[in-house]
């Protein structure tokens, strides 16, 4: 065997060992002695989009029955939530725009609207920013950390079982557990917050392939309020990601302005 043949054989053997090792199901990407590096990889794998727009079907189930309606939703991560209620053949009957500091509401059936700063609703700015971050993150299947700070691997603890990975974080009265299955899908969250006064469970299902990974077509939020079990389900229909969002909120001149409290008391869609 010539020297050139020996070199070629050695190269093939090296490549084979690399491939065998890389395909082994027992291989760990990082040693367990370096958990933050592994957590950072999980966070990087689930960085998806900053903006989303989609038609949705919403179903609300309580002990008294259930109601369904169609809507269009626009989400700007950590920034704003825009919802247009369209229960009748795409005809809009109401609209909501929630930002870090304000809320805008419109009822086309009653020709009324309400606009208010969240500070006027006894909601502090930090609390409003955090609440919006939680809401947009939950609806868009993304991780978050308690408080108003950027997400970091060092904010989390990592547990591993035979079935899943669990990312946990907490701060004061805020706790969150995020569950990732063996397919790499973030499919469940358990949340506790001083803002809610009750635990909130979030389940994600019907994952679809996208350009940035998988995204759930269904989000279910469930909680107990008093003796009533409440389930809020959102089904996304043909969502699009990271496109320009128009967060318009036109107010016709003949609409009557009212307070947020009065608006919500009269809300009938």
Contact 218, 235 (CB under 8 A): yes
Contact 259, 116 (CB under 8 A): yes
Region 43-258: CATH code: 2.50.20.10
- Percent pLDDT > 90 in the chain is 35
pTM of the model: 0.79
pLDDT for the residue numbered 8: 37
Number of other CB atoms surrounding residue 43 within 10 Å: 17
pLDDT tens for 133-165 read 888 999 999 998 877 677 888 889 999 998 999
pLDDT for the residue numbered 28: 42
Domain boundaries, the chain: 43-258
pLDDT for the residue numbered 4: 41
* Residue 138 vs residue 119, higher pLDDT: 138
* 19 has pLDDT over 50: no
What are the angstrom distances between the C-alpha of 226 and each of 81, 201, 265? 28, 16, 20
Q: Which of 162, 154, 143 is nearest to 36 (CA)?
A: 154
pLDDT band for position 232 (cuts 50, 70, 90): very high
Q: Which of 73-77, 150-154, 157-161, 184-188 shows the lowest per-residue confidence on average (mean pLDDT)?
A: 150-154
Which letter, b or e, does each residue of 92-112 get, where b requires 16 or more Cβ atoms within 10 Å of its Cβ? ebbbbbbbbebbbbbbbebeb
* 228 has pLDDT over 90: no
* 7 has pLDDT over 80: no
Residue 77 CB partners (closer than 8 Å, separation 6+): 49, 50, 51, 136, 137, 140, 142
DSSP-assigned beta bridge partners for residue 225: 228
Question: Which segments of 148-246 does DSSP mark as H helices, in order?
Answer: none
For 140, the token pair is: 């868009």
pLDDT for the residue numbered 52: 92
DSSP-assigned beta bridge partners for residue 112: 107, 256
pLDDT band for position 120 (cuts 50, 70, 90): low
């Amino acid at each position: 065997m010539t020297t050139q043949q020996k070199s070629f054989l050695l190269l093939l053997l090296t490549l084979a060992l690399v491939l065998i090792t890389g395909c082994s199901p027992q291989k760990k990407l990082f040693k367990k002695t370096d958990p933050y590096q592994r957590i950072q990889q999980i966070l990087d794998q689930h960085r998806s989009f900053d903006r989303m727009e989609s038609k949705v079907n919403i179903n609300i189930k309580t002990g008294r029955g259930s109601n369904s309606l169609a809507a269009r939703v626009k989400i700007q991560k950590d920034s704003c939530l825009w919802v247009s209620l369209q229960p009748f053949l795409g005809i809009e009957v109401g609209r909501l725009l929630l930002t870090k500091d304000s809320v805008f509401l419109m009822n086309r059936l009653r020709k009324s609207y309400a606009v208010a700063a969240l500070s006027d609703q006894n909601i502090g700015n930090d609390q409003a920013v955090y609440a919006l971050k939680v809401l947009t993150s939950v609806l868009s299947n993304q991780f978050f950390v308690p408080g108003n700070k950027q997400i970091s691997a060092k904010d989390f603890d990592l547990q591993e079982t035979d079935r899943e990975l669990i990312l946990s974080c907490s701060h004061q009265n805020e706790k969150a557990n995020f569950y990732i299955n063996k397919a790499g899908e973030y499919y469940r969250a358990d949340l506790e917050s001083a803002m809610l006064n009750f635990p909130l469970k979030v389940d994600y299902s019907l994952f679809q392939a996208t350009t940035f990974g998988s995204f759930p077509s269904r989000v279910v939020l469930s909680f107990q309020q008093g003796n009533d079990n409440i389930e809020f389900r959102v089904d996304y229909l043909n969502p699009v990601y990271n496109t320009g969002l128009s967060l318009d909120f036109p107010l016709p001149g003949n609409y009557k302005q009212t307070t947020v409290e009065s608006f919500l008391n009269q809300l009938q869609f």
